Chains A and B, each alone.
Chain A
């Protein structure tokens, strides 16, 4: 015999009728209570601000006296079309993504392949590679500014040892973005390595052993077995990498401030400048929603792919 829990008896069988009716209809009524704190948090701190920012994108709110902010329809979105700085920032975000994502994936895969071997002290190396991931972006940025210093930095010192001229890594528009990408890869490679490792360890050894018996060398085995079987991992890292790259901000803010000459002024940094330096909250909200739309497309691709894959498995 199943007894009615005390909590249910008191909460759901007393009170107004609509309350009793609501709980009476639900089979998972206690579940709602458990998720209530998270739901409240989600609504108050995510959903409401999200909807609020969407509304703001149709106003010309300059940061004070919200109630007198004029509603301007789609004017912010129309203005964006001719905003050179915004398109420069979107172009920079695309450039950053095109550099950082494939390079980061290749380098982290190479590290993961090595870390997947039965080497002595491999766990120590894995930990070392992962350490930048848990380091603060600001601290990492300050260290890299020092390393890339044109006069006192170690990179230029090494170049000079080989008789090469020094490079103004962060001060030259041509090298500033590649330098940022270098820092991003250094910081993020550990995380991607862990994901690659999980993918690598899910590949049955029998397949490689069978291939070896058939005469495949390590190179063939990698191209014909490992890489195809890493397809879901590759896809996951590619999509999350693109999404993360489109959202890059901290490193740009701390290291280059969007310079030199706008060469590293990426989308989120531009939104930040419009919102918190120009106090142009309405327009900044519109820009944020456009960026959201772009990111949403990539998220959608990932969701569709994962669903298709799940369906093909079962």
Chain B
């Protein structure tokens, strides 16, 4: 019995010691980094993006033989899965994080202040980033939560063939709301080719709409900014006095009027009807809707659409009223706060982020058309190398007017955004603007009061 126990104890000791011996044999401090953001979906295995991602892993591990990259696929419902993993202590060491949900992770202390990396890796400097993108990660108090990879300002896509059909000159980025409205009216055609400004226009047989106007806050919040207003206070504590301010009400009314007064954008149910059969992008490319707001990522979907031809896609900056403004949607690299417990791993993670934000990687990635690089040098090179340089130039220029999405600053933004979506849905369906805004102010007020009382 005693002999058996001794053998068992010996096996247990060996089981504990052997892995450590193996590590030593491999050269001592071998570090494994678990990374999400360097895998692509199976359909994209042979694409330039996949090749760029594989190349950066190879390049990095060759330059840092003591580091192993365990590249993980981003799970479906990534934000939810990440929460579960963070709660369980099994989240990746480095991951690709959408800035519009970053605030939640910052407020709960789950990511590293990247100033640590700036000290550890001298090659990593903040001047490589476009200021607009970098500002999404910076706080007034100096912290840098993650570093930007790439993103996009919201711009207006338009179909030049639709403009040609309506006999309208394509707009330029210095246009105003009034000019935008006139263009949208001229673009909205009935089956006899008459536009909205024609007194004989046939409401029942619209074949081309001027604009797509939807409930989603991410597609309309910057219209409020353009009018000099806002929907929430600078500290994110209230919407009262902001969402119901004259500037915000005027902007929301204007968006409502595009649908219900001027009839240049289809009502939500009509939009469903015209876009359900082939998808909205086909609807746009076929000329049924002439303009819509979207980011750079839509270029990917548009260029692979069967109805795509280069002459059917162009972009222009947003019109302005009081000021130029748009929102930037961006993703960047963040490091798990737990990594700080292991200095060797922290150094490796910082070195990896340096590599991922360098021109060496960014130059190979921007050709995919998914976004504008946050690396200023790569973004400039992309404009020259792009298959559609005019489009890239508009995105780069609009980035200068870009503001951070509120999800990057306020942890409670998802709740506010959900209420704003509901408010706009009711307004676009004919709800009274003042009443719907008042309801939203009350609802969001309750939510924010509850959130602040428990913090």
A residues near B (Cβ < 8 Å) are 60, 62-66, 68, 70, 72, 75, 79, 82-85, 145, 149-152, 168, 170-173, 259-262, 273, 276-280
Contacts and interface: CB of A to CB of B under 8 A. Distances in A.
B277 A280 contact: no
B83 to A, nearest CB: 4
Contact of A84 (B77, B443, B451): B443
Listed residue (B105, B108, B439) with the most chain A CB atoms within 10 angstroms of its CB: B108
B276 interface: yes
B3 interface: no
Contacts of A63: 83, 87, 104
B181 to A, nearest CB: 26
Nearest to A277: B414
Nearest to A67: B87
A260 B87 contact: no
Contacts of A84: 439, 443
A151 B276 CA distance: 8
Chain B interface bracket (under 10, 10 to 19, 20 to 34, 35 or more): 20 to 34
Given A72-B454, A82-B446, A276-B80, A66 B273 contact: no
Contacts of B269: 150, 168, 171-172, 260
A171 B454 contact: no
Interface in B234-271: 268-269
The 9 A-B residue pairs with the shortest CB-CB distance, nearest first, are A60-B454, A64-B108, A150-B273, A63-B83, A171-B269, A171-B272, A152-B277, A168-B269, A278-B415
Nearest to A79: B450
A207 to B, nearest CB: 53
Contacts of B411: 62
Secondary structure at chain A's binding surface: helix, strand, loop or mixed?
loop
19 contacts: A60-B451, A60-B454, A60-B455, A62-B104, A63-B87, A63-B104, A64-B110, A65-B109, A149-B276, A150-B272, A151-B273, A151-B274, A152-B276, A170-B272, A171-B268, A172-B269, A261-B422, A278-B415, A279-B414
B86 interface: yes
Contacts of A65: 86-87, 108-110
B182 interface: no
A179 to B, nearest CB: 13
Interface string B398-415: 000000000000010011
Contact of B268 (A70, A72, A260): A260
A284 to B, nearest CB: 12
Given A62-B104, A64-B86, A278-B415, A70 B454 contact: yes
B428 to A, nearest CB: 9
B87 A273 contact: no
A60 B439 CA distance: 24
Contacts, number: 87
B82 to A, nearest CB: 9
B429 interface: yes
B277 A149 contact: yes
Contacts of B104: 62-64, 279
A63 B411 CA distance: 11
Contacts of A278: 414-415, 418
A173 B428 CA distance: 13
A263 to B, nearest CB: 10
B426 interface: yes
Given A149-B277, A168-B273, 20 more contacts: A60-B454, A63-B104, A64-B105, A65-B86, A66-B87, A72-B453, A75-B450, A84-B443, A145-B276, A150-B272, A152-B277, A168-B272, A170-B272, A171-B269, A171-B273, A260-B269, A273-B418, A278-B415, A278-B418, A279-B80
B110 A259 contact: no
Interface in B86-141: 86-87, 104-105, 108-110
B48 to A, nearest CB: 32
Contacts of A170: 272
B108 to A, nearest CB: 4
Contacts of B83: 63-64, 279
Contacts of A72: 453-454
B219 interface: no
A271 to B, nearest CB: 14
B217 to A, nearest CB: 13
Nearest to B425: A261
Nearest to A280: B415
B436 to A, nearest CB: 11
A121 B299 CA distance: 55
Interface string B282-319: 00000000000000000000000000000000000000
A150 B414 contact: no
Contacts of B443: 84-85
B415 to A, nearest CB: 5
A253 to B, nearest CB: 12
Nearest to B429: A261
A192 to B, nearest CB: 31
A152 B279 CA distance: 12
B274 to A, nearest CB: 7
B80 to A, nearest CB: 5
Interface in B384-439: 411, 414-415, 418, 422, 425-426, 429, 439
A62 B273 contact: no
A64 B411 CA distance: 12
Given A62-B104, A79-B450, A260-B425, A276 B276 contact: no
Nearest to B426: A261
B276 A150 contact: yes
Nearest to B278: A152
Contact of A259 (B425, B446, B453): B425
